[in-house]
Chain A
Amino acid sequence: MKAKLTIQKTALTAIAAFFTLLALFPLAWVMIAGFKEKTEVLSTPFRFFPKQWLVTNYVDILKDAAFQKAMLTTFGGAVLFAVLSLLVNASAAYVFARLEFRFKTVMWLYVIITMFVPGMAILLTSFIVVNKLGMLDTFAVLVLPGVASAGAMFFIRQFYLNIPLALEEAALIDGAGRIRIFTSVFLPMSYPVFVIVGIGSYLGYWNSFVWPTMTITNPDLYQIMQYLATFRSERSTEMGMLMAGSALSALPTIVLFLIFQKYIISGIKISGLK
């Protein structure tokens, strides 16, 4: 019995290790392939580790002005996008969680229904709208369209509904206004939910590809995924640099995730599923 348990345990550990390595493998591979010599990336037979560890690919891509620009503007855009999205969606979440006003149900339905509109159905007409607004090839076209999100609002509202009323009653009796209560009671308590929603928005912006490709033609405003896709088609011989660039483009999100992983992983629990 005991021997059987040990075997079982070893087998389970082996399975866990196998899947964990499998999950990390593609990423590890692209990072390591970035250290290979240009011709070695796809040399036959396949080798996981480089014959010689070279930093040239990483140095070259980091020196590439367009890459630097793409990384910086995408990072700035993603941070701005996340902050705006938190502000806009959290204020609405607070209103729906706590305030009473005329046509509340109508407003609620109006906002929530947008959640069911799939992006593809409005991709082209959104393009026409931003074109008419003269937003093409501006920073605003990257940031603004996705800021308001019924899903994010709903998620934050679920969190606010669980904040006990007692916390704000004292402030209400003292005569604090609703906005004061929002900024001084709700916002400080929002940290866990803001981390989850904020990183979600950040990632959505960082990883987006089709929208930037449609709306940005000025290379100065290329976002990182657009840059990588363009690099891939235009400089297809520079495979080592592409590997290094792909690895570097994933790095900021991975670092961010590692910093906040505790919240994100525990956030899966409060995501309304349970």
Chain B
Amino acid sequence: MFKKNYRQDNGVAYLLLAPIVILLTIFVVIPFFYSLKVSFYNWSFYQPSVFVGFDNFKFVLEDDLFLNSVWVGIKFTLMVVPASMVVSFLFANVIKGMRKGSASIVKTSIYIPTIISGIVASVIFVFIYDYMGGLANYVLSWFGSEPRAWLADVKTALPSIAVPAIWLGFGLTTLIMLAGLHDIPESYYEAADLEGAGTWQKMWYITVPLMKNIVLFLTVTGFTGAISQYELSLVMTGGGPLDTTTTPNLYILNHFRNDVMVGNSIAASLLLFVVLGSISAIIFKVLNSEKAIDG
């Protein structure tokens, strides 16, 4: 995988690698193997642990609350990812057509939410959804609707958390899309113009096919990001009402905090790890291969 060079530098190499290897070993590798081990034990802070084989995994897969949290995660992902992809794609096209000066103002502005923490976003949106003085109900009142308890109603709680998630992520998605758009040669569009193609035709027949890989990449990273989200629900609703906003990671975190049966929640996190880990391994493979983006 690496081409041979004219000399070897074992000493220097290991000296410079030592910090990263030691730190990763202590804070990632050891905890990971520890987690693997714990997932096969009936382990708690208070009792000696007992080997239980696959019982923890079985328990988790049969636990309605965990299955429910996976379902919540999937629903949440379906609310966040398609919406931000469509908005970002269209908006990136709008930015591409803008003059340089105004484009850079827009780019900076939409990137700002990306650097805001989940905690601050939660604080802001909890106020926006406030029953009495919140903006959301104020906007509803323009249309003559009754105010809603956005975060306390089983029907609206999850979508209400999806909105800040989209807000936090769509700037970066848009800018990545924009970078992809800039890589499509102008000559393709000029040729299409000569053939008399309209705006939508050009978008459908040139832009969309050539953006395929970027869209794929963003879908997969968006999926793993959204399904791992827990900070927003943790602060905004604590997972309620009736667990409708308990995402898988929040389920795991809540079990860490409240349970004595740690093995179960670690088993749950490892199951998720298998799924999410394989997905990110695939992305990495696509990215690391030279022909990541054709066209």
> Which residues of A are in contact with B by a Cβ distance under 8 Å?
8, 12-13, 15-16, 19-20, 23-24, 26-27, 29-30, 33, 41-46, 87-89, 91-92, 94-95, 98-102, 104-105, 107-108, 110-112, 114-118, 120-126, 128-130, 133, 144-148, 150, 153, 177-179, 182, 203, 206-207, 209-210, 225, 228-229, 232, 239, 242-243, 246, 249-250, 253-254, 257-258, 261, 264-265, 268-269, 271-274
B32 to A117, Cβ gap below 8 A? yes
Name A268's contact: one of B94, B167, B179 (CB within 8 Å): B179
> Is the Cβ of B34 less than 8 Å from the Cβ of A129?
yes
One of B55-63, B67-75, B268-276 at the interface: B268-276
Q: A12-B94, A125-B34 are in contact. Are A27 and B117 (CB under 8 A)?
A: no
Stretch at the interface among B7-15, B46-54, B188-196: B7-15
Do the beta carbons of A129 and B30 come within 8 Å of each other? yes
In the complex, how many angstroms separate the beta carbon of A165 from the nearest chain B beta carbon? 10
Are A207 and B138 in touch, CB under 8 angstroms?
no
Q: Which parts of B126-155 form the interface with A (CB within 8 Å)?
A: 127-128, 130, 132-135, 137-138, 141
Q: How far is the CA of A246 from the CA of B269 in the complex (A)?
A: 31
On whether the beta carbons of A118 and B119 are closer than 8 Å, the reply is no
> Are the C-beta atoms of A273 and B287 separated by less than 8 Å?
yes
B34 (CB) vs chain A CBs: closest residue: A125
Tell me if B's interface is mostly helix, strand, loop or mixed.
Answer: helix
Asked if B175 is at the interface (CB within 8 A of a chain A CB), the reply is: yes
Interchain CB contact (< 8 A) of A26 among B28, B125, B132: B125
Q: A46 and B27 in contact (CB under 8 A), knowing A117-B32, A250-B120?
A: no
A91-B17, A99-B12, A118-B273 known; A44 and B133 CB under 8 Å?
A: yes
Would you give the 0/1 interface string for B172-206, flagging 1 where the beta carbon is closer than 8 Å to chain A?
10011001100100000000000000010000000
Q: Chain A nearest CB: distance from B136 CB in Å?
A: 9
A42 and B130 contacting across the interface, CB-CB below 8 Å: yes
Q: Which residues of the partner chain A approach B132 to less than 8 Å between Cβ atoms?
A: 42, 44
Q: Mark B81-117, 1 if CB is under 8 A from A, else 0.
A: 0000001000100110110001011111111110111
Q: How far is the CA of A92 from the CA of B22 in the complex (A)?
A: 12
Contact in complex: A29, B35 (CB < 8 Å):
no
Cβ-defined contact, B231 with A210, below 8 A? yes
CB <8 Å contact, A29 and B124: yes
- In the complex the two chains form, is B2's CB within 8 Å of A100's CB? yes
Interface residues of B (CB under 8 A from A): 1-2, 4-5, 7-10, 12-17, 19-21, 23-24, 26-32, 34-35, 38, 87, 91, 94-95, 97-98, 102, 104-113, 115-121, 123-125, 127-128, 130, 132-135, 137-138, 141, 164, 167, 170-172, 175-176, 179-180, 183, 199, 214, 217, 228, 230-231, 234-235, 249, 252-253, 256, 262, 265-266, 269-270, 272-273, 276-277, 280-281, 284, 287, 292-293
Q: How far is the CA of A182 from the CA of B9 in the complex (A)?
A: 13
Q: Are B119 and A229 in contact, CB atoms less than 8 angstroms apart?
A: yes
Are A116 and B280 in contact, with the CB atoms below 8 A? Answer: yes
B32 x A122 contact (CB < 8 A): yes
The 8 Å CB contact of B10, one of A8, A26, A102, is: A102
Q: Is the CB of A121 within 8 A of B2?
A: no
| Distance from A40 Cβ to chain B, minimum over Cβ atoms (Å) | 9
Is B21 touching A111 in the complex (CB atoms < 8 A)?
A: yes
* Interchain Cβ contacts under 8 Å between A and B, 25 examples: A24-B109, A26-B125, A27-B113, A41-B127, A45-B141, A46-B135, A88-B19, A92-B21, A100-B8, A110-B21, A114-B28, A114-B29, A115-B280, A117-B277, A150-B24, A203-B115, A207-B119, A225-B120, A229-B119, A239-B127, A249-B117, A265-B107, A265-B108, A273-B176, A274-B179
